[in-house]
Amino acid sequence: MPELPEAETIARGLDGQVRGRRLLAARCLRKGICERKVRYPVGARVASVRRRAKKVLIHFDDGTTLLVSLGMSGQVRPRPAGPLPKHTHLLLTFEGAEFVYVDPRRLGRLAPPREATTMLAPAEEVARWCEERLGPDAVDVGWPAFREALARRRGALKPLLLNQRVVAGIGNIYADEILHRAGIHPRARPADLPEAALRRLHRATRTVLRRAIRANGTTFRDYVTPTGARGDFGKLLAVYGREGERCRRCGAAVERLRWPPGRSTWYCPGCQPEPEEI
Ligand SMILES: [Zn+2]
């Protein structure tokens, strides 16, 4: 699933390729997925492409912003030769470059604007929409804001890290990697942790996400960046998806919890002691 590092990689890749170029056409192919009735800013130039949490924001010079939510498996990639890929929701044609927005696991009709995967609106409206739904951005949140975001929350850390209103941009892969790096059990509750542990968690959050961005993210299934590269972070994963394999730090066997509901969590019992022992 795309998380902050993959969204950052996509935003940087697109920025490098379309900044300053005009949008020549936009075609929505899946009703209910993209906002079909909107008038895309054909003729406007791309001012910049940025990221907020797991969302890619294409800012145009007419003051509008196209927000693309990457959802479960969304990608923005160069249009391949031949027929459009299956699950193409949106085709964006810029001067000299064409991109498809595909999301194989996004099915059914979604109600815009809250859950549509794309949203086109004045830049301030998109910014407000993001502020109302997203906590501080996980890669650059400072320590006071990070502590504040967790201090008010009850419950275990893993689901809190996945909650975009607490800190924004982290999903299942990086939550596990961050907790492992910090040496904190996924079921530990922030209210029970000493400040030193929360500081470790804050540092680990920034370090893991920055390293993943440098590696162009993690390749899952057929993820590719807008420049056609693949993410390299997969081989750096410490615990995610490594059940039964040895922890690279302490040698213990990585374990998998079928928790939180509908998810799995990988952790090292050697590096991440049970909450009672902390
Ligand atoms: Zn370990």
Span 52-86, pLDDT tens digits: 999 999 999 999 999 988 877 788 889 999 999 88
Q: Could you give the dihedral angle defined by the CA atoms of residues 68, 74, 76 and 80, in that order, rounded to the nearest 10 degrees?
A: -150
The CB-side HSE value for 31 (13 A sphere, CA atoms) comes to 0
Q: What is the pLDDT of residue 220?
A: 66
Size (the chain), residues: 278
**Distance (Å) from CA 129 to ligand 1 centroid:** 40
How many CA atoms lie less than 13 Å away from 100 in the CB half-sphere? 20
Long-range Cβ pairs for the range 247-252 (8 Å, 24+): 247/271
* Residue 223 confidence (pLDDT) above 70: no
Per residue in 164-209, pLDDT (tens digit) is 999 999 999 999 999 999 999 999 999 999 999 999 999 999 999 9
Distance of CA 5 to the CA centre of its chain: 6
Cα Rg for the chain, rounded, in angstroms? 19
Question: Residue 266 Cα, ligand 1 centroid: separation in angstroms?
Answer: 11
Round to whole Å and give the CA distance between 78 and 153: 41
* Amino acid making up residue 247: C
Tell me how far the alpha carbon of residue 103 lies from the centroid of ligand 1, in angstroms: 35
- Name the one residue in this structure whose structure tokens are 């059990």: 185
Is there a shared CATH topology between the 4-133 domain and the 143-277 domain?
Answer: no
8 Å CB contact between 175 and 167: no
Cβ–Cβ under 8 Å, residues 57 and 46: no
Torsion, CA 120, CA 3, CA 161, CA 198, rounded to 10: -120
Residue 48 reports pLDDT greater than 50:
yes
Could you tell me the fold of the domain covering 143-277?
A: Helicase, Ruva Protein; domain 3 (1.10.8)
| pLDDT > 90 in the chain, percent | 72
CB-based contact 138:182 (threshold 8 Å): no
d(CA 151, CA 174): 21
pLDDT band at 112 (very low <50, low <70, confident <90, very high): very low
Please tell me the chain's helix, strand, coil percentages from 3-state DSSP, rounded to the nearest 5: 30, 25, 45
Task: List the domain boundaries for the chain.
Answer: 4-133, 143-277
Kindly report, residue by residue over 153-176, the tens digit of the pLDDT: 999 999 999 999 999 999 999 999
- CA 52/CA 55 separation, integer angstroms: 5
- The span from the CA of 178 to the CA of 187, in Å, is 13
Residues carrying an active site annotation: 2-3, 54, 263
Q: What is the mean pLDDT of residues 29-53?
A: 84
4-133 in CATH: which number?
A: 3.20.190.10
Give residue 113's pLDDT.
43
DSSP class of residue 168 equals B
- 75 membership: H or E segment, kind and range: strand 75-78
pTM (two decimals): 0.91
Query: Residue 89 and residue 100: Cα distance in Å, rounded?
Result: 7
Contact 123, 139 (CB under 8 A): no
Residues that place a CB less than 5 A from ion ligand 1: 247, 249-250, 252, 268, 270-271
* Ligand 1 centroid to residue 242 C-alpha, Å: 12
Distance (angstroms) between ligand 1 centre and the Cα of 238 equals 9
Q: Strands 23-28 and 55-60: what pairing?
A: unpaired
CB-CB contact of 134 with 57 (8 Å): no
